[in-house]
Chains A and B, each alone.
Chain A
Amino acid sequence: MSDAPTPKIAVSGLEKSFGRKRVLTGIEIACDAGESLVVIGGSGTGKSVLIKCILGLLRPDRGSIRIDGEETVGAGSAARARLMRKFGMLFQGSALFDSLPVWENVAFGLIQGRGMPRQRAREIALEKLAAVGLGPEVAALSPAELSGGMQKRVALARAIAAEPEILFFDEPTTGLDPIMADVINRLILDCVRGLGATAVSITHDMISARKIADRIAMLHQGRIIWQGPTAEIDRTDNPYVDQFVNGRAEGPIRMEVRAA
């Protein structure tokens, strides 16, 4: 018997295809409780598909995904609802609800998902907005009135509002200027550490990956081809990782022209 603790997230033999296009071809990866795992890889390599399979937004074709040791592939709606309460997600485009003001976006999961009274949920929303550096004057604004960086902050506040055990970040710094990207990276670090949460991020921004990751894994052609502590990524002799990390056009990775 092994005394190793059960990983918070354990993915094994995960496969997912769209028509004839095989996107994930046997993912093996695990993430311990409290760890920040960043999955890197080029555009169209299946990073978002991986995260959506773990979240249950996409149904895998084959394989196993365990959260706290509990199998989630094929879980019923009650089990799925229980799992969702453990998750918080920051979407690439923020995915804020246009029809609701900022505070209701942040409080949405508390009011609709957990049945919390609106007044109490509003107080928590203002606290979370403050935690990401936004004042109460933003609360009544519509998401369309905010800049991209502010929308990301609101989305981050929404992701942490219910204090989830596992946070997912989909390209958290894409489309932001370097300064705002650094602000978001710091906020992610603060939020993850503050909550003691497990974090899984996907990005192709190496500055972001180095900043927020305890461990990095690289996804290429549907498989994890390398994983290790953040400090080791510059020392690896894996030619794929070396080409990606250093952003070179020449190397074993060939850019696909077609998405599917």
Chain B
Amino acid sequence: MIYFLAAVGAAFLAFLASVGRLAMFTGRALAVGATPPYYPRLMLRQIIDIGYFSLPVVGLTALFTGMVLALQSYTGFARFNAEGAVATVVVLSVTRELGPVIAGLMVAGRVGAAMAAEIGTMRVTEQIDALTTLSTDPLRYLVLPRLLAGLVTLPLLVFVADIIGVFGGFLVGTYKLDFNPVGYLTQTEQYLATMDVVSGLVKAAVFGFLIALMGCYQGYHSRGGAEGVGQATTYAVVSASILILLSDYLLTQAFFAQ
């Protein structure tokens, strides 16, 4: 029994130490942003990488999510004769919840993994040490532009995903479920509040920051060659996905819980 408790205690202490290391890493990475030099060109490259190149995968996911949502809510609500609420359910679900979460998870898989692999390879091939010897702070040069790019880009990406997701619902609603197109759009607009969209975009900003943070953190601390880089990539995607879902709950609670 005592061994079991010791193991649980050790695991908990290790978890707290990891949280502390992550918090210190985040603090240091943000603190370097207080003074120049800045690297706008690197940030722009990351914005293009996170935003533009993720657009096809996020767009497709959003389209099918909106379509499935319309179909599911129609078949479900038909049991209560509430089919008329489909357009409202689609737009609220997409803007408040599914747009940011689905886009966040897709970007975590695509961009978070790539960040961890790139920075991890730079770590194990001593390129990060080389940056330091060339009077360049690796946190300032590698990490800060990615964090800011994640923070700025994911809301833009989610805004586009929201539109595509609602359009997916509209397609299914009008072509398959025989809703009147004007009526569908009117109902979509009627019950949509500014807060629904804003809350989704705020969530997206938080998710973007978390994805970049976990990609950079895991890559920066990778060890042991190719295996270590592979492990860092896995950890980056898994930890970013968990943090997205956790922070999604907390933000939903903050925005909408009475």
Listed in ascending order, the chain A residues whose CB lies under 8 Å from chain B are 52, 55-57, 81, 84-85, 87-89, 91-93, 95-98, 108-109, 112-115, 158
Given contacts A87-B133, A98-B121, 5 further A-B contacts (CB under 8 A): A55-B129, A57-B129, A96-B130, A112-B135, A113-B134
Counting CB contacts under 8 A, is B178 at the interface?
no
B141 in contact with A112 (CB, 8 Å): yes
A55 x B133 contact (CB < 8 A): yes
Q: How far is the CA of A95 from the CA of B241 in the complex (A)?
A: 32
Instruction: Tell me whether B125 is interfacial, beta carbon within 8 Å.
Output: yes
- A91/B141 in contact, CB under 8 A: no
Q: Does the CB pair B135–A113 fall under 8 Å?
A: yes
A81 — which chain B residues lie within 8 A by C-beta? 135
From 87 to 142 in chain B, residues with beta carbon under 8 angstroms from any chain A beta carbon are 121-122, 125-127, 129-130, 132-136, 141
Instruction: Identify the closest chain B residue to A83 (Cβ).
Output: B135
> Which one of B122, B132, B133, B141 has the highest number of Cβ atoms from chain A below 10 Å of its Cβ?
B133
Is A84 a contact partner of B130 (Cβ separation < 8 A)? no
Residues of B that sit less than 8 Å from A by CB: 37, 121-122, 125-127, 129-130, 132-136, 141
Q: Which residues on B sit within 8 Å (CB–CB) of A55?
A: 129, 132-133
- Cross-interface CB contact of B125 among A57, A88, A93, A115, cutoff 8 Å: A93
B residues near A96, Cβ cutoff 8 Å: 127, 130
Query: Is the pair B127, A97 in contact by a Cβ cutoff of 8 Å?
Result: yes
Chain B residue at minimum C-beta to C-beta distance from A81: B135
CB neighbours of B125 from chain A (8 A): 93, 95
Please list the 6 inter-chain residue pairs (A to B) with the smallest Cβ-Cβ separation, ordered nearest first. A113-B135, A109-B134, A95-B130, A95-B126, A89-B133, A112-B136
| Shortest beta-carbon distance from B2 to chain A in Å | 24
Chain A residues whose CB sits within 8 angstroms of the CB of B129 once the complex forms: 52, 55, 57, 89, 91, 95
- Closest-by-CB residue of A relative to B129 is A57
A84, A98, A115: the one within 8 Å of B132 (CB): A84
What residues on B are CB-neighbors of A87 within 8 Å?
Answer: 133
Measured CB to CB, the closest approach of chain A to B39, in angstroms, equals: 8
Task: Name A97's contact: one of B37, B130, B132 (CB within 8 Å).
Answer: B130
In the complex, the answer to whether A91 meets B130 with C-beta atoms within 8 Å is yes
Question: Of A84, A97, A98, A114, which one neighbours B133 at CB under 8 angstroms?
Answer: A84
Residues of A within 8 A of B130 (CB): 89, 91, 95-97
Write the nearest CB–CB distance from B185 to chain A, whole angstroms: 46
Residue of B nearest to A164 (CB): B133
How many Å lie between the Cα of A20 and that of B220 in the bound state?
Answer: 23
Q: When chains A and B are docked, how far (Å) is the Cα of A79 from the Cα of B122?
A: 26
- Closest Cβ neighbor of A87 among chain B residues: B133
Docked pose: A112 CA to B136 CA in angstroms: 6
**A56 contacts which chain B residues (CB < 8 A)?**
132
> How far is it, in angstroms, between the C-alpha of A92 and the C-alpha of B125 when the chains are bound?
9
Q: Provide the residues of chain A in CB contact with B127, threshold 8 Å.
A: 95-98
A84 and B126 contact, CB distance less than 8 A: no
Q: List 22 A-B contacts (CB under 8 A).
A: A52-B129, A56-B132, A57-B129, A57-B132, A84-B135, A85-B135, A89-B130, A91-B126, A91-B130, A92-B126, A95-B130, A96-B130, A97-B122, A98-B121, A108-B134, A108-B136, A109-B134, A112-B37, A112-B135, A113-B136, A115-B37, A158-B134
Bound CA–CA A81/B134 (angstroms): 10
Task: Return chain B residues, CB-CB under 8 Å to A92.
Answer: 126
List, in ascending order, chain B residues with CB within 8 A of A98's CB.
121, 127
CB neighbours of A97 from chain B (8 A): 122, 127, 130
Q: Which residues of A contact B141 (CB under 8 A)?
A: 112
Closest chain-B Cβ to A243's Cβ sits at a distance in Å of 30
Interface centre among A88, A95, A97, A114 (most CB of B within 10 A): A95
Contact B133 A88 (CB under 8 A): yes
Min CB distance B253 to A, Å, is: 39
Query: Residues of B contacting A57 with CB < 8 Å?
Result: 129, 132-133
Contacts of B133 in A (CB 8 A): 55, 57, 84, 87-89
CA distance A26 to B101 in the complex (A): 54
Contact B134 A112 (CB under 8 A): yes
Alpha-carbon separation in the docked complex, A113 to B122 (Å)? 18
